[in-house]
């Protein structure tokens, strides 16, 4: 009887360890200090005055831990994926004759937080983020609203400032 109880406890411990490993693989390895408000939000975004401001959104983040990508421009945005299973492809955006943005050259593909330096113009963004989760794919161009200067919103994006 004792052997059965001991064996059952060992099996339950092994299952618990395996589940903990699986669960932690899908979490973001960076410890951010904010909370996503719903399950539909794939990324968090913040406008930055300088790259050092990124650290305010994380616990114990060394300055050199976040990569900065550039698509020409001076606006800085911090992009934080909700988890490691969210993939973000960064494209240069090209303005078509009809006024729509089209994907251009791929700048990078990542599932980690990053800073994007972009937007030479206040009117037309020059970056497209293709954000892919298991069941949601969105395209988003980081920019500031001409109405009030806030980061443009999207239902699947948490605006941090």
- Residue 44: pLDDT band with limits 50, 70, 90: very high
- The pLDDT of 47-70, averaged and rounded, is 83
Contact 48, 77 (CB under 8 A): yes
In the predicted structure, residue 26 carries a pLDDT above the cut 50: no
Q: What is the pLDDT of residues 102-158, one digit of tens each?
A: 899 999 999 999 999 999 888 889 999 999 998 889 999 999 988 888 899 899 999
Burial class (CB in 10 A: 0-12, 13-18, 19+), 12: exposed
Q: What is the pLDDT of residues 2-22, one digit of tens each?
A: 777 777 777 777 877 776 655
- The pLDDT of 66-94, averaged and rounded, is 92
Averaged pLDDT score across all residues of the chain? 85
- Ranges of each domain in the chain: 30-159
Give the strand order in the sheet containing 114-118: 67-70, 114-118, 75-81, 43-48, 157-159
- Residue 90: pLDDT band with limits 50, 70, 90: very high
Lowest-pLDDT choice from 32-36, 62-66, 110-114, 143-147 = 62-66
In the predicted structure, residue 30 carries a pLDDT above the cut 90: no
- Residue 101: pLDDT band with limits 50, 70, 90: confident
Strand-strand pairing, 75-81 and 43-48: antiparallel
């Amino acid at each position: 009887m004792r052997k059965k109880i001991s064996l059952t406890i060992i099996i339950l411990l092994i299952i618990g360890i395996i589940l903990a490993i699986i669960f932690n693989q899908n979490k973001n390895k960076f410890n951010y200090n904010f909370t996503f408000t719903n399950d539909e939000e794939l990324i968090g975004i913040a406008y930055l005055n300088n790259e050092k401001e990124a650290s305010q959104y994380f616990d114990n983040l060394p300055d050199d831990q976040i990569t900065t990508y550039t698509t020409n421009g001076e606006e800085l945005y911090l992009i934080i994926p909700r988890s490691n299973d969210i993939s973000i492809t960064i494209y240069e955006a090209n303005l078509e004759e009809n006024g729509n943005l089209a994907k251009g050259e791929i700048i990078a593909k990542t599932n980690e937080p990053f800073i994007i330096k972009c937007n030479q113009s206040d009117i037309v963004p020059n970056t497209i983020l293709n954000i892919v989760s298991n069941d949601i794919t969105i395209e988003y161009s980081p920019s500031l609203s001409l109405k009030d200067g806030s980061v443009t919103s999207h239902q699947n994006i948490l605006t941090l400032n």
